[in-house]
Structure 1
Amino acid sequence: MSNGDEEGVLRVLVVITRGERGGAQVHVRDLLVGLQGRAALHLAVGEEGFLADEARTIGVPVHPIPALQREVAPRRDAAATRALLALARRIRPHLVHTHSTKAGLLGRLVARRLHLPAIHTAHSWSFSDGISWRRKAFAIPLEAAAGRWTDRFIAVSAADREVGLRYRVADDARVVVVHNGVADTSLRARPDRPGVPVLVMVARLAAPKDPLLLLQALEQVRAPCRLRLVGDGPDRGAVEDAVARLGIEDRVELLGTRRDIDAILADAQVGVLVSRQEGFPLVVLEAMRAGLPVVASDVGGVSEAVEHERTGLLVPRGDGEALRAALERLSADPGLRAAMGRAGRSAYEARFTVQRMVEGTAEVYADVARRHGLPALRRPQTPGRP
């Protein structure tokens, strides 16, 4: 939908900080694809990269806000707020939909100043379990203040919803759970393929992910297996040092940032996610979509996707021995891998498709639009693959 076609159509300003590929960015990309043509969408993002490129490809106007960064910096944050205000006054959105912490705080402040309704998707709170109390003490008052300016919260998991209610940054009536979903592909894994099984973890090499714990556990696994780490980040050097120190260079491949994630998963036998904190990670859903069993830390909403002993194995946060045992068990048992992979694929088809996520979000938009007397969403077009 071009800017000239926006009259009489619900206009939505979507705000997010980072543009490099990650779970929140893929989530936003898929929403832009799914809602394109039903609303006039605009994307404000703090940096160029994956998300901006994807948005432009489907015709969504992109508005870079370079001052919109994750780190706390009062002068820069003030500049970002001014830039968002100027943008909103120019494009005149009917509502603002923010994603993640910093964009959520500044975007909702702008919505309040302009008397616009705001929807916020947290993608795991900045005060979730696993976050230090020092950070929580800083984040909770800010989120509580922004919460008063929020018409609807979208929690990507029931666990996120519970955390928001527990810390009283949101109330029960305004929080809706819309699980993440991912678009389907034709690529399927063979978890029971003969040979040395390949374990894959797709993640940014930075907190809250815990690749060092994974490497320590892998060093103790006696069943033959190989690990591929897909992604980059500030902890790359520490990961490389750990691989050398543990003497597992022949079992670990660092693939860096890749765009062929679907093909990499299809060539694997086990999906892995080791983390200290999560909302509802897309990488788990992508592994299930490929038909892979999953070994994952039992944090955030992970257990809402991975059913222990049915679609994968859950391990307590930080428990290296439990992680080792799970990796050992699946590496040594191709029949179990195949059974869990089939169950995971079935769970994906039933609950975690991108269409379910888009429609759940569209229902939130429609409800807010009705309550504020705004233009309605257009009827959905034939869905395309994001």
Structure 2
Amino acid sequence: MRFKGTENQRVEKEKVRILRIIARLNIGGPAMQAVFLNKAFNSDSFKSKLIYGSLDKSEGDMSYLLDEAPQFSIYIGEMRREVNLIRDFITFIKIISIILRERPHIVHTHTAKAGALGRMAAFITGVPIRVHTFHGHIFEGYFGGKKTVFFKMVERFLARFTDRIIVLSPTLKEQIMHVLGITDRSKLSVIPLGVETELFLNCESLKGQFKRELNLYDETRLVGIVGRLTPIKNHKMFIDAAKIIMAENGAKLDIKFVVVGDGDMRESISAYAKENDLLERMVFTGWRKDLAKIYADMDVVSLCSINEGTPVSLIEAMLAGRPVVATDVGGVRDIVSHSRTGYLVQRGDARSLAGYIMQLLSNDEMSRKVGQAAREYSRKIYIRERLANDMDILYKDLLKKKGVMT
């Protein structure tokens, strides 16, 4: 089933063909990065296409990002996040068919499902270079013990025929190597995310718009959390912290707690807020595209996740100059330097979360200083031009090592 001229196929005057595969374009960092790289690598030297699948009903949709160049994307309706042997087999056959038609020099997969099906298809069809990006990992907080062990075994198997595994932070690299034992240092590269920095760096011009939309006073303080409403994001911890803040400071605070996002836990999170007499203090916005406007009016942005890769919401908030308080999980500590660019708390520690939020709300100078340090750090690291350049160097290095590029 291999296409002719694979391992010894050389790229001289022709463009390097890349086939990028992601399970779905739901709202979040993986979709944003995959779409951006697909666009960036349609150039004089590269030709890139993106395969993507279907969303769950409760997920926000980012496929609108493909509207500028739909000819560089391929939709497979059977590809979904959940394991389904029939749909997954159909997806696998379709990916093989696309590979045989497109004849890519590089297959680059994003997320677990696409990583498994895409890399196996690339291997058996003889694609010269196989790359996978871990945007986080699913080995903590997602599944029970037996499933987790199984998925670790699958990733270790897939790593054997993957030329390079990309992780988004040094902490995730250490976890992949030493804690999870998926592969060794020689196959791992750290390439941080790149986001649309200017949009958030310039958000001060939007200040006040979100509060006016909500009919709030300018003096009302806003504490927010941005992300999917799913168990792994642990929004109950955010509500627990809100309850502590209101119990200890409510009489002197004009404050709202803003939940940006949606998901299958929307109703249960709303019910939990009601149980704790907080519903009147909560704002549920659903999915929003105008995040810069929302960050502009935030006083503090929090993250309560049980597990994370590199959370885009924290990077965006930091670019907007907003102080952040987050759980010290996954790659978060590679973004947030405790007491300098934000504050870290232990997973599930709602009291510490509430404490740092109150420190920031009650000390404007401290809040300004932390927010400014966060902005200066993030604007140097998480830029899209740097991401594209890093990936260009990696691709060309692999092409040369495999004898594909002259």
Q: Which runs of 5+ in 1 are unaligned?
A: 1-5, 377-386
Q: Give me the identity figure in percent.
A: 28
- Residue 203 of structure 2 corresponds to 187
Distance 1:371 1:113 in 2: 20
Are 2:228 and 2:262, in contact at CA under 8 Å, matched by a contact in 1?
yes
Pairing partner for 1:126 from 138, 150, 155: 138
Residues of 2 paired with 1:10 and 1:74: CA distance?
33
Deviation at 1:195, TM superposition (A): 2.0
Identify which range, 53-62 or 25-34, moves more after superposition.
53-62
* Corresponding residue number in structure 2 for 1:383: none
Q: Which residue number corresponds to residue 8 of structure 2?
A: none
Tell me whether 1:83 sits opposite 2:115 in the alignment: no
**Higher CA-based Rg:** 2
Alignment correspondent of 1:381: none
Residue 234 of structure 1, CA deviation: 0.3
Q: How far apart are 1:190 and its partner, in Å?
A: 7.3
Given residue 295 of structure 1, which amino acid in structure 2 is its aligned partner? V
Q: What amino acid is aligned across from residue 113 of structure 1 in structure 2? A: I
1:286, CA displacement in angstroms? Answer: 0.4
Displacement of 1:273: 1.1
Match of 1:3 in 2: none
Amino acid at match of 1:174: K
Aligned to 2:171: 159
2:398 corresponds to: 368
Q: Which residue of 2 aligns with 1:57?
A: 68
In the alignment, what sits opposite 2:359? Answer: 329
1:126 deviation in Å?
Answer: 2.1
* Aligned match of 2:213: none
What letter is aligned with 2:370?
A: M
| Offset from partner CA, 1:8-53 (integer Å, 9 cap, x none) | 1111111001112212111212222333314211010012784433
> What residue number does 1:256 align with?
286
1:45 is aligned with what amino acid? Y
Deviates more, 1:133-142 or 1:12-21: 133-142
Contact 2:35 2:50 (C-alpha < 8 Å) held by counterparts: no
Query: Relative to structure 1, is the Cα distance of residues 107 and 80 closer, same or farther in structure 2, using a 3 angstrom cutoff?
Result: same
Partner SS state of residue 280, structure 1? coil
Residue 286 in structure 1 maps to residue 316 in structure 2: yes
Tell me by how many angstroms 1:69 deviates: 1.2
Alpha-carbon offset, residue 170 of structure 1: 1.4
Distance 1:176 1:120, change over 3 A: same
Distance 1:129 1:230 in 2: 22
8 Å contact kept, 1:181–1:282: no
Output the amino acid matched with 1:363: I
C-alpha distance in 2, partners of 1:120/1:302? 21
Matched positions, count: 370
Residue 120 of structure 2 aligns with an amino acid whose one-letter code is L
Check conservation: 2:135, 2:168, Cα contact below 8 A: yes
Aligned to 1:300: 330
8 A Cα contact 1:9 1:375, kept in partner: no
Would the aligned equivalents of 1:45 and 1:52 in 2 still touch at CA under 8 Å?
no
Whole-angstrom distance in 2 between the partners of 1:325 and 1:112:
51
Q: After the TM superposition, which of the residue ranges 179-188 and 286-295 deviates more from structure 2?
A: 179-188
1:21 to 27, 40, 44: 27
Question: Shift in Å at residue 103 of structure 1?
Answer: 0.5
**Aligned-partner residue type, residue 195 of structure 1:** E
Between the aligned partners of 1:144 and 1:316, the Cα distance in structure 2 is: 29
Residue among 49, 54, 63 paired with 1:47: 54
Q: Which amino acid aligns with 1:177?
A: V
CA RMSD of aligned residues (A): 2.2
1:372 CA displacement:
2.2
The two structures have a TM-score, normalised by structure 2, of 0.86
Corresponding letter in the other structure for 1:46: G
Please list the CA deviations of residues 251-310 of structure 1 after superposition, one character each: whole Å capped at 9, or x if unmatched: 210000111111111121111111000011111110011011111111011111111101
Which residue matches 1:311? 341
Structure 2 Cα separation of the partners of residues 212 and 180 of structure 1? 28
Cα gap change, 1:52/1:374 in structure 2, threshold over 3 Å: closer, same or farther? Answer: farther
The residue type paired with residue 263 of structure 2 is G
Residue pair 2:22, 2:111 contacting (<8 A) in 1 also: yes
Return the offset for 1:249. 2.0
Letter in 1 for 2:135: H
